[in-house]
C-alpha cells in the first residue's frame, strides 16, 4: 500500500494531469492514448492498470473538471453574504477563468460537440448541467425573486453566453458584459418583486377593509 502522501506523483495522477491538458486543449477524440502516456511519462500498461479504458479516463477527466470548477465557483460565492453580490460573484469567477491563457471554453460543451448522445461525455454533461441549474435556482431563490425559476433561466443563459462568447471570440471581456446583463436582470427582478409585494399588500388591505366593514 502506498501512502497518499508521497514525494513523486502516482502514475494515475500524472495520467490525469496529462489527459486534462490534452483533452481540454485539443479535444478528446483528437488525442490518442499514446499522446497521453507520452506526456505523462508513463508506460501504456500503467494507463490500463489504472483505467478500464479511454472512456473511463475521459469520465474521470470530466468528473475532475466538474468538481474543481464547482469548488471554485462555491469559493467565489462564499466570499459574499449579500444574495445579489453572491450571484454577481459567479460572473467574476468566470472573468478570472476567461483571463487564463489556457482557456478554451467549457469542457462539457466541447465534449458533447464530438460525442454520441449516449456516451460518457453526455452523461457527465447531464450531471454538470444539473449542477448549473441548481446553483442558479438556489441563488435566485435566496435573492428573493418573485419568479425564481424565470430569473434562474436568465442567469443560466447569461452564464452560457459568457462561456461561449469568451471561447469563440477569445476575449475575457464577455464576463463583464455578462455581469452587466446579470445586474440588469436582477434590477428588473427586484422591481417586479416590489411591485408584486405592493399589489399583494393592496389586496390584503382591501380584504381587511372588506372584513372590517363586512
Q: Which residues of this protein are in contact with DNA, per CB under 7 A?
A: 1-3, 6, 10-12, 31-35, 41-46, 48-50, 53-55
Interface residue with a second copy, options 55, 71, 82, 114 (CB under 8 A)? 114
Kindly tell me which of 46 and 141 has the beta carbon lying closer to DNA: 46
**Gap between the Cα atoms of 32 and 35, Å rounded:** 5
Kindly tell me which of 52 and 116 has the beta carbon lying closer to a second copy: 116
By the 10 Å C-beta count (0-12 exposed, 13-18 middle, 19+ buried), 12 is classed as: middle
125 binds, among DNA, a second copy, none (CB under 5 to 8 A by kind): a second copy
**Gap between the Cα atoms of 199 and 180, Å rounded:** 29
44 binds, among DNA, a second copy, none (CB under 5 to 8 A by kind): DNA
- C-beta separation of 35 from 12 below 8 A: no
**Gap between the Cα atoms of 56 and 204, Å rounded:** 59
- C-beta separation of 25 from 102 below 8 A: yes
Residue 1 in contact with a second copy, rule: CB under 8 A:
no
Footprint of a second copy on this chain (CB under 8 A)? 26-30, 105-106, 108-116, 125, 129, 133, 153-154, 156-165, 167-169, 173-174, 177-178, 180-181, 184-185, 188
Amino acid at each position: 500500500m502506498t501512502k497518499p502522501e508521497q514525494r513523486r506523483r502516482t502514475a494515475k495522477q500524472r495520467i490525469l494531469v496529462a489527459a486534462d491538458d490534452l483533452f481540454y486543449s485539443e479535444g478528446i477524440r483528437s488525442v490518442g492514448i499514446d499522446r497521453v502516456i507520452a506526456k505523462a511519462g508513463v508506460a501504456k500498461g500503467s494507463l490500463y492498470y489504472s483505467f478500464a479504458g479511454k472512456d473511463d479516463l475521459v469520465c474521470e477527466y470530466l468528473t475532475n473538471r466538474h468538481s474543481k470548477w464547482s469548488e471554485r465557483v462555491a469559493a467565489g460565492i462564499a466570499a459574499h453574504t449579500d444574495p445579489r453580490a453572491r450571484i454577481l460573484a459567479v460572473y467574476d469567477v468566470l472573468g478570472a477563468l476567461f483571463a487564463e491563457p489556457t482557456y478554451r471554453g467549457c469542457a462539457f460543451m466541447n465534449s458533447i460537440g464530438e460525442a454520441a448522445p449516449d456516451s460518457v461525455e453526455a452523461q457527465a454533461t447531464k450531471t454538470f448541467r444539473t449542477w448549473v441549474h441548481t446553483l442558479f435556482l438556489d441563488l435566485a431563490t435566496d435573492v428573493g425573486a418573485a419568479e425564481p425559476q424565470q430569473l434562474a433561466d436568465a442567469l443560466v443563459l447569461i452564464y452560457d453566453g459568457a462561456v461561449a462568447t469568451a471561447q469563440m471570440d477569445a476575449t475575457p471581456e464577455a464576463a463583464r458584459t455578462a455581469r452587466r446583463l446579470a445586474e440588469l436582470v436582477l434590477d428588473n427582478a427586484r422591481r417586479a418583486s416590489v411591485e408584486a409585494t405592493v399589489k399583494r399588500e393592496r389586496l390584503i388591505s382591501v380584504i381587511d377593509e372588506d372584513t372590517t366593514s363586512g
